[in-house]
Structure 1
Amino acid sequence: MFEPQQGYIVSRHSSDVNGRLDIHYYVKTDVATVKVSIAQAETLFFTNAPLEALATDVQGVQCEESQLKSFSHDTVSVVRCQSLLLQQQMVAMVKKLGYAVYEEDIKPEDRYLMERHIRGQVTFVGVPDAAGLSFTQAKLKAGEYQPHWQVWSLDIETSVSRNELLSIGITSGERKVVLVVSPEPTQLENVYTFADERKLLMAFIKFVRKHSPDIIIGWNVIGFDLMFLDQRFRQLGIKPALGVQGENWRVREAKESGKVFASIAGRVVLDGITMLKVGGYHFISYSLNNVSSELLDESKLLTGGDRWQEIERMHREELDNFVAYNLQDCVLVERIFEKLQLIELQQTRVDLTGIPLSQTGGSVASFENLYLPRLHRKGWVAPAWSDDKFVPSPGGFVMNSLPGLYKNVLVFDFKSLYPSIIRTFYVDPLARVVAQALAQDEGLVPGYRGASFQRQFAILPELVAELAQSRESAKRDGNAILSYAIKIIMNSFYGVLGSQVCRFYHAELASSITMRGHELLGRSKQWMEERGAKVIYGDTDSLFITLSDSLSEDEAWQAGKELCEVVNQCLSEWCGDYADIDSHLELEFETLYTRFYMPTIRGQEEGSKKRYAGLSNGAIIFKGLEAARSDWTPLAKRFQVELFEHLFFDLDLESYVSEFVSDLRLGKFDQELIYSKQLTRPLAKYTKTQPPHVRAAKMADEWRQQQGLPPEYDRGRKRVQYVYTLSGVVPYLTDSDLEHLDYQHYIDKQVLPIAEGVFQMLHLNVVDILTPQFNLL
């Protein structure tokens, strides 16, 4: 009998080997990352075809009745296959016979873990090879292993003019290594020189295999670094044998989305930009220089549009500075990951949902991993994929605002509104189909668009309750990462149920969440107004109200707390009267704006939506205004912040605006006049319109072509920097592009629109104030 081993699943794989399904996992243990192959691996699917219609005499296929039912209330059979090819053939045969298939698309390596409630931590037992690095005939169950990851931060430098690899930089804690193409050896510490790209890449493979990193991080590391390396491997005829046991990596680009994916056996690659978005972090620009400047107060050693020329020069003439530049990028990424605990966040998501460690998205996968085992235990299989027409659910509640300048604006938020609606009103895929089939009213909770939910069969409410309880425990323990990870999982349920990429999608499900949200916001608004509050705005899960301007800050806080308690009591009583259900809805009062600005829609009298500014606890908060948007210049953001400082702290607005425009014309803000906007698709796809950033990108690529350089923007998905000069839009490539700037454009398009709304509410005319400086006609 072999001893059980503890570990953590790094990557998961399945394929047919010699006609039989092979499921194996790479598992990190205290000794090494080992390959664990499952005993008697099989893949399966369900069907409503009767057994007599199935080919039960095919070798490697086993068909049997099950105790499960489909959402169409048919008894289903299970078809087990010993290879992926056999399953593919059986699915095709069943469909040709006119029967339905269920769960045929679930990967066998995912199903094996899902059905055993295995997430990342695992205990396994199997037959080891002589080296103890591969285990066969293995069985797995959930474990309690906590890994200590070896993390590499990787960054490459390339020659833009020759489209060649110059170096690969790696940092991992104290280890800092650079592999560089250089004709001469160097005395620089931990810098290894190679005569050409081929020798460098071969050395890189050996280095990876020798030191075996678990997780590779970087900035756009998959979309650029690995993609470029893969192209050079293929160009030079080198097999990228970078897996734990020498397997070739796979780097591929999805044709439709253009997204790049990387798969390395026994290793995980995590991109910094993607992980920031997973973590809920928002930046005006996701460039490494901008993010590191904001988070770390550090920056890249070179910046600017022409830095590629300086990189090539340093590579030729100043190898020490070139190496320092390469390593600095690695170090910045490493520090960002450490500061924000992004690897801990990703592992927490795996521990909660069972998604692969490499999967940074995966809301649908997370949902299915949590829901399917519970569904099977209740005796049902997931529904077949539907070709029904997509019916979008109504969006979140958004009421027209009452524009104006206010004092004492109180903001009330429903705590986890959509998960709370699911839990309170039993919104659930299974509960919906059971309610349709049972001709009884007992136990039903009404939904919307004709839906109702049989509460005894609901799975999601119980799941949400478990997650909510875990989140409260995480908050008490001060575990912010776990609390946030649970939050994003719970909040994803609504989006999953309303998305056609989920097999459980139905218009009645998502609508029963959002339309219930509309009702709850509307009722809460009514209850507040009955008690003397004035509701000036509402958005998804929030209500903004005003009380008397004469209240002190302390009095406003006390009034808000009392009103919150009253509304929560009203919600509880209403739920009991409505459907004899317990309310898990909770309204919270956490924000008081002592000064508040709600604008009109530009050029209209109607109140705006999702746009406001307020002063709370001494800090000015912007929502949806120019200071919070990435498509306005730094000048606009500076102006808006300073303008509202003057407004909320009762300073002289008229003098400030006049002096600001004067300084603008004197060139004091030239470095803040650079627009930055993302290309969302390849340049050739912009056919109907040519926005300014597209025109600038085309001009930049035309210049590069004249210099004999490859295009930079033709594939899209890059941020373009540009300015307005007296001759029109030009790309910002060097500081020389800041000559002959069109200051009138920036006054008209960046300053005036921000100032107008505020001055209008103060019954002042900003045009009169600025007329001496510029002509508005």
Structure 2
Amino acid sequence: MKAFIVDMFYSRIQGRDAITAAGRLESGETFGLVDYRIEAVLYVRKSDEFEVRRHLPNSYFVLTPSNQSTMDGEAVISLRAPNLFELRNINKLLLELGVRTYEGDLDFGTRYRIANGIKLTVDIEGEALPSKHVDKLFINPTLTPAEGDFPLKVLSLDIETDHAASKILGFSFVSWTLGGKSLEEVHIHGESRRDDPAYLTAHKSEKDLLNAFQMRLLAIDPDIVTGWNVIDFDLFVLEKLATKYNLPFTLGRTKETSRYKKGQFFGKSRLIMQGRQVLDALTLARHTLFNFDDLRLGTVAKALLGRGKTLLVEEWQDAAAVILEAFESDRPAFAEYVLEDARLVKDILDIQKLIELTTARSQLTSLPLERAWGSIAAFEALYIAELNKRNIVAPTLGVDLKFEGSGTGGLVLNPKVGLHSHVLIFDFKSLYPSVMRTFNIDPLSYVHGHLLKSKNKLDELILAPGAIAFDREPGILPKLLDEFTARREEAKKQGDSLGSYTYKIIMNSFYGVLATDACRFADMKLSDAITGFGQFLLVEMQTYFENLGLRVLYGDTDSLFVQVDDLQGSTGEEAWTYGQNLCSKANQYLAERIKTDYRLESKMELEFEKYFRYCFLPPDRQGDSGRAKNYAGLNISGGKEKLVITGLEAVRSDWTPFARSLQRELLDRLFHEATPESMVSYIRTRLKDMFRGACDEELIYRKRIRRPLDSYIKTTPPHIKAARLLPRPVRVVRYLMTDNGPEPIGFVKSKIQYDHYLEKQIRPIVENLAPYAGFEAEDALDRTSGLKFSGTLS
């Protein structure tokens, strides 16, 4: 029968090592498995056998021959320990003695999945036994890879507490099966009332309320538990309160107590609930394509759902006091508040398909759901599995690692400042993954290439810029990328946007993984080779276009802006036809060049992405050169036009809404050939509106606080000064500049300093555009040209 493994972990059962797992069967039933057929094993080089025997007593281990080898081709022998605890001690000791170990740090779950060739969806065969915690229990079953969709059950929860989080007022549950309807319930501390809604249950004591939490969670029996900051707040607080009342905190599918493990970094804490997975919705929201002003639930919900929390509380206000007041004096409002928080989490996850995306990523990489978004873990899981298929063992982290190289970045061609017409934007499709596929850039082929280079076998090598050598024998990483590319294209054809996106983000993560020493396969020379080829390809295409008599205005890493004077007078449709034909010829040229110079089949694909009828490349503040990653254009496609802005003030959250809208309007007028007089008139009108107080809401700065306020000693930026005037710390401060400096919203006592906005927000934008729009900036900004400015709130 088919099964989805929700959780897999190491257990010690009656003195024996075991792999334990739990999950959901295709029928909807829950299952568990226990497999005792595992070994505590690592590998050492055959040449180190004497050192191992010399330093370790024989009773600790068993050394046996192996048909496997290291990445550089040396034979290894296996070292088997009596249990995982002893294996970890042996691994640590050997590393301290300078003996290189291999796969000595792999967790049992990863080792088990690789050994069985499985991911998370499996066919499970064996006798099913009854169990207290799951519907069916399998001992030493046979597992084989499978595919399928499973009715995973999700539970979104929210708790509300007093100010000190020492007392729980109530909690809410919203549970649902993926693709199905949801069930809602609220439980509070207090007496039952006749007018309580059907979803509300009251409990006379806090202890009863905590008992109800555990009983209801176990009854619902979710595969995934989620909530907003659910690990570091809700479940952390519940664990403390359970301890306070001497209550069990057994929330999983085993008899083991659930436990909180604090992480070193934000979003890295865990709540171990064996047999289930706890996924923090706040952390998952970071993987959407949206940039939020902050990551508070209300902010994210407003942006994605168009609705927020039912009790409006400014960040600087005492939220706990507002909630406590509702609890004590407005029970229906409190119940609706706590329930809506759990609903918002469900709806955010649903609209962004974050549970489905996490599940798809886990299935692709074989990682558990809670680790699905770890790029390094995903890369290593995939790569080690492929190494083992070639009878090669992976180094323990830090072994054989030579993190050398310059860390070269992408190439940026200096922008040709100005207003340009008829600009074609070309972009390499998945540049770095395509480079790896084309030029066989791969950790194993790099190791082999280094060995071949030392033997002067240059004909068997692919030489990257910087003389970095790779074997021509197809590597593991290009093979994986070829498979993922094909699957992504198939997903696109089938209209499976979720599948397509899953493959895209996995593929794009590989370059970054190879550039960090937290990965056992990383080497800066690998990343240097990738970026080196990227630079070569960008220059190659620049030269190709310029040899055709075209003008390359700008280039950055994987894209080129090419001006085509021949398109003067052309329609948008004609420009697109020209761009597509030009792109096809460029790809043909590049494929021939790679085949001639490198004897390789090109996997590179240049795409014609946009046609800008007008494109503005702004100067820097000094006016000396262009600004990389800053441009605006009027994109024409399918008979429609769209203003595209990248990097400029109009799309930067640290500029005021007034400045952003001003620049956007000016660019739109510039691209539609507005007269200089009309642009000057527009600017003056907007200034008049500002100085008479009609635009005060648009003058609010909104900036994040990234460090503790008391850490700002030498310099104190305006937003920090404003934040220090608030009664409570905030993560995002909203403030106005006044005659007495920055003052936070809600505490503005002074007159707004409009001259500040004129000089710091408006002047830079107008001066940047004026030379290309045909007017003098001072004409537009002159306060004596028939306009009367008060400079104060009217």
TM-score (norm 2): 0.89
Mark the CA change 1:199 to 1:650 in structure 2 (over 3 Å): closer, same or farther.
farther
C-alpha spacing 1:38/1:67, structure 2 compared with 1 (3 Å) = same
Whole-Å Cα distance in 2 between the matches of residues 145 and 153 of structure 1?
A: 24
Measured after TM superposition, the shift of residue 482 of structure 1 is 0.7
In structure 1, the partner of 2:776 is: 765
Q: CA deviation at 1:21?
A: 2.0
Change (3 A) 1:64 1:692: farther
**Matched residue SS, 1:367:** helix
Contact 1:450-1:508 within 8 A present in 2 as well: no
Question: Which residue, out of 2, 5, 10, partners 1:6?
Answer: 2
What is the alpha-carbon distance in structure 2 between the residues aligned to residue 672 and residue 526 of structure 1?
Answer: 46
CA contact (8 A) 2:692 2:790 kept: no
1:23 to 14, 19, 25: 19
1:251 aligns with 2:260: yes
Specify whether residues 503 and 575 from structure 1 end up closer, same or farther in structure 2 by C-alpha distance, changes over 3 A only: same
Look up the match of 2:308.
299
In structure 2, distance between residues paired with 1:446 and 1:720: 52
Equivalent residues in 2 for 1:161-176, closer than 5 Å: 164-172=167-175, 173-176=181-184
Match of 1:362 among 368, 371, 374: 374
- What 5-or-longer segments of structure 2 have no aligned partner? 176-180
Counterpart of 1:666 (choices 682, 689, 692) is: 692
- Correspondence for 2:494 among 448, 473, 477: 477
User: Structure 1 residue 108: deviation in Å?
Assistant: 1.0
Aligned partner of 2:618 among 587, 596, 599: 599
| Change in CA separation of 1:216 and 1:472 when aligned onto 2, cut-off 3 Å | same
Partner SS for 1:80: strand
Q: Is this contact kept in 2: 1:410–1:589, CA < 8 A?
A: yes
Contact 1:575 1:583 in 2 (8 A): yes
Q: Secondary structure at the match of 2:140?
A: strand
SS in 2 for 1:466: helix
Matched residue SS, 2:653: coil
Q: 1:331 aligns with which of 311, 326, 343?
A: 343
- Higher alpha-carbon deviation: 236-245 or 683-692: 683-692
- Please report how far the alpha carbon of residue 133 of structure 1 lies from its aligned counterpart in structure 2 after TM superposition: 4.0
Match of residue 643 from structure 1: 666
Structure 1 residues 636-645 or 203-212, which shifts more?
Answer: 636-645
**C-alpha displacement at 1:78, in angstroms?**
1.6
In structure 2, do the counterparts of structure 1 residues 227 and 93 end up closer, same or farther at CA, with 3 Å as the change threshold? closer
Query: Which one of the candidate residues 620, 633, 641 is aligned to 2:656?
Result: 633
Any idea what SS the aligned residue of 1:25 has?
strand
Deviations 1:475-531 (A, max 9, x none): 111111111111111111111111111111112211110010001000100101111
Q: Cα–Cα, structure 1 residues 678 and 393, in superposed 2: closer, same or farther, change >3 Å?
A: same
What is the match of residue 188 of structure 2? 180
Is the alpha carbon distance of 1:93 and 1:486 closer, same or farther for their aligned partners in structure 2, counting shifts above 3 Å? same
What is the letter of the counterpart of residue 647 of structure 2? G
On the 8 A contact 2:28/2:151 being kept in 1, the answer is no
Q: Give the structure 2 partner of residue 708 of structure 1.
A: none
Partner of 1:376: 388
Aligned partner of residue 231 in structure 2, secondary structure: helix
> How far did residue 585 of structure 1 move?
0.7
State yes or no: 1:424 paired with 2:438.
yes
What secondary structure is seen at the aligned counterpart in 1 of 2:225?
A: strand
Instruction: Kindly indicate whether the alpha-carbon contact (under 8 Å) linking 1:528 and 1:563 is maintained by their aligned counterparts in 2.
Output: no
Determine which of 147, 150, 162 is the counterpart of 1:147: 150
Equivalent in the alignment of 1:44: 41
Q: Aligned partners of 1:697, 1:485: CA distance in 2, in Å?
A: 40
Question: Structure 2 matches for 1:316-465, cutoff 5 A?
Answer: 316-384=328-396, 385-386=398-399, 388=402, 391-438=405-452, 439=455, 440-465=457-482
| Cα deviation code 1:456-488 (max 9, x no counterpart) | 152222211111111111111111111111111
Q: Distance in 1 between matches of 2:208 and 2:681?
A: 65
Shift of 1:43: 2.7
1:307 Cα deviation from its structure 2 partner: 7.0
SS in 1 for 2:473: helix
Is the 1:431–1:453 Cα contact (8 Å) retained in structure 2?
yes
User: Does the 8 Å CA contact 2:32/2:138 hold for their aligned counterparts?
Assistant: yes
Corresponding position: 1:160 with 2:155: no
In the aligned structure 2, how far is the partner of 1:359 from the partner of 1:744?
Answer: 51
1:121-174: per-residue Cα shift (whole Å, max 9, x none)?
022345544335433333432223421121222223333377643221222344
Residues 719-748 of structure 1: CA deviation (Å, up to 9, x unaligned):
33333333223343x3x5486333333333
CA distance in 2, matches of 1:434, 1:307: 62
1:152-301 equivalences under 5 Å are 152-160=155-163, 164-172=167-175, 173-182=181-190, 185=193, 187-255=196-264, 259-301=268-310
Shift of 1:40: 2.1
* Offset of residue 47 of structure 1: 1.1
Cα–Cα, structure 1 residues 633 and 189, in superposed 2: closer, same or farther, change >3 Å? farther
CA distance in 2, matches of 1:640, 1:164: 51
Match of 2:736 in 1: 723
Q: CA deviation at 1:541?
A: 0.8
The alpha carbon displacement at 1:365 in A equals: 1.4
Q: Tell me, yes or no, if the aligned pair for 2:222 and 2:276 is still in contact at 8 Å.
A: yes
SS in 2 for 1:278: coil
| Cα distance change of structure 1 residues 653 and 476 upon mapping to structure 2, 3 Å threshold | same
Partner AA of 1:626 in structure 2? E
Match among 540, 544, 547 for residue 523 of structure 1: 540
Decide whether the 8 Å contact of 1:41 with 1:82 is kept in 2.
no
Q: Distance in 1 between matches of 2:295 and 2:4?
A: 31
Letter in 1 for 2:330: E
Verify: 1:76 aligned to 2:76, yes or no: yes
Tell me which amino acid in the other structure corresponds to 2:155: W
Residue of structure 1 equivalent to 2:485: 468
Q: Distance in 1 between matches of 2:5 and 2:694?
A: 56
Give the TM-score taking structure 1 as reference length.
0.91
CA distance in 2, matches of 1:629, 1:618: 22
Alpha-carbon contact 2:43-2:76 (below 8 Å) kept: yes
Determine helix, strand or coil for the equivalent of 1:358.
Answer: helix
* Count of matched residue pairs: 757
CA distance in 1, matches of 2:222, 2:329: 32
RMSD: 2.7
Structure 1, 738-747 or 593-602: larger mean CA deviation: 738-747
Secondary structure of 1:418's aligned partner: helix
Confirm or deny that 1:755 pairs with 2:758: no
Q: Residue 618 of structure 1: SS of its match in structure 2?
A: strand
Q: Which amino acid in structure 1 is aligned with residue 574 of structure 2?
A: E
Q: Secondary structure at the match of 2:213?
A: helix
Q: Which runs of 5+ in 1 are unaligned?
A: 705-711
The aligned runs of 1:115-154 (5 Å cut-off) are 115-126=115-126, 128-131=128-131, 132-154=135-157
Which segment drifts farther, 159-168 or 552-561?
Answer: 159-168
Judged with a 3 Å threshold, the aligned counterparts in structure 2 of structure 1 residues 453 and 169 are, in CA distance, closer, same or farther, namely same
**Alpha-carbon deviation of 1:684?**
4.8
Work out the CA distance in 2 between the residues paired with 1:485 and 1:57: 48
Note the C-alpha offset of 1:362: 1.2
CA–CA separation in structure 2 for the residues paired with 1:329 and 1:462: 45
Say whether the 8 Å CA contact 2:417–2:619 is kept in structure 1. Answer: yes
SS of residue in 2 equivalent to 1:645? helix
User: Aligned partners of 2:426, 2:58: CA distance in 1, in Å?
Assistant: 63
Corresponding residue of 1:564: 583
